[in-house]
Structure 1
């Protein structure tokens, strides 16, 4: 750890350090069980004295923890500890993910493949027959006339239902958190790739069959192959280079006329 000499410290650095201390003290109150989910924090003046903090540093700490969804500041009612559920805490990740650069989409897909494979393995054991029937009903909603936006919404919902079937709320929250950049890639694929609806429906049907097999390895492999196909398209599809980097100067290609099926 690098120590900055006192003579070289700026007021901003000093302020940040004090705020970090304040955050740590509030965190300790929560992790020790002194403050439980849903509890109201003591009045600002009382809490500042109790923790040995200035009221300004305490305010900054509360502001930071509210952005992280650890605390909920209710105007006129006080400050409360949130539910601390994974969906609440990991939801803040969505905000950070939006700062990604387009050339990292491929990495998000790789992470998604790893996590969804684990989710599918769990879901193959946890989903009921009624849950799997619901996935089949959802598959039937996708047709050749489905718009790109509706197709992407369908795809997102299918994967959400499958991951929810794992029963692991942390996995659900992590995958929701990285969905933004992946959704943009899905939209681009829907615009540029022929027969993407049929391919999506076919691959989703394969995933459902794998889930019905009740074999975790088979289910994990099915979803891994499905997502790997998207990764491969991203590397070589129109508008992308070999590393999944977007090439914005290349226009969206016109769809060639589809030949009638004999």
Structure 2
């Protein structure tokens, strides 16, 4: 394992930052891998020339980032380092954004999901198509019966978009998209749909996206997805409301 913490570092913050840098380097080099158990605290503190307090501070920071996991009575382990866990801080940050920032995040989501649709068009399986059809068929039933409320639609919408992102075959891209599906942005979608009374129109756009995916035409899928998300983005920009995440509570 790597050795040689900077003995000239002063203050617990700089020493803990050095520990974080060492762990990052060891993971990047493959010296530490997903699921590996770290040596005991006493050994690491001596090896890296830091106090146990600085080491513990670094471990807490890395645990908060989803890099390390401390199991009571067992030790500290490297997590599976999956994108979803490592990008969780982004989800937390995105959820804090208010009106202006949420519009910006909707724009980011549009860019990411446009690309995910293009990738999915050439990579998705028949099972993926069947699952997407099932999601939209449930919406068909709800709309026909008049029993589909906005919250149920938002849940189905999220499932539809997440399935496409997963089908892109790019785990990092899918995790980024998932991180942006926060309560704040879902609240924005809720307003865009209900104030425009556009459940049917939004569902028609979903159908157009799925039709494009069935053709395996990446460019057509990108265009359909971009148009679908641009409508919500434009509405949000034209109807700013402070504190959107606190306006309409949505069930998770």
Aligned residue among 175, 178, 184 for 1:176: 178
Which of structures 1 and 2 has the bigger CA Rg? 1
In structure 1, distance between residues paired with 2:40 and 2:226: 51
How many residues align structurally? Answer: 229
Q: Is the 8 A contact 2:94 2:105 kept in 1?
A: no
Alpha-carbon offset, residue 65 of structure 1: 0.3
CA distance in 1: counterparts of 2:207 and 2:227, whole angstroms: 13
Residues 41 and 52, structure 2, Cα contact 8 Å, conserved in 1: yes
Can you give the 5+ residue segments of structure 2 that lack an aligned partner in the other structure? 1-9, 248-252
Counterpart position of 1:220: 222
Structure 2 CA distance for aligned equivalents of residues 209 and 178 of structure 1: 25
**CA apart distance, 1:135:** 1.4
Question: Does the alignment pair 1:246 with 2:246?
Answer: no
- How far apart in 1 are the matches of 2:126 and 2:25? 44
Q: Among 17, 36, 39, which residue is 1:39 paired with?
A: 36
Aligned equivalents of 2:119, 2:153: Cα separation in 1: 26
Q: Does 1:59 align with 2:56?
A: yes
Alignment match, 2:159: 157
* TM-score in terms of structure 2 length: 0.86
Gaps of 5+ in 1: 1-12, 253-262
CA-based RMSD of the aligned residues comes to 1.7
Report the Cα distance in structure 2 between the residues aligned to 1:130 and 1:73, rounded to whole angstroms: 38
Q: CA deviation at 1:222?
A: 0.5
SS of residue in 2 equivalent to 1:21: helix
Query: Displacement of 1:190 after TM fit?
Result: 3.7
- Flag the structure with higher helix content: 2
Alpha-carbon shift at residue 247 of structure 1 (Å): 5.5
Question: In structure 2, the residue corresponding to 1:145 is in which secondary structure?
Answer: coil
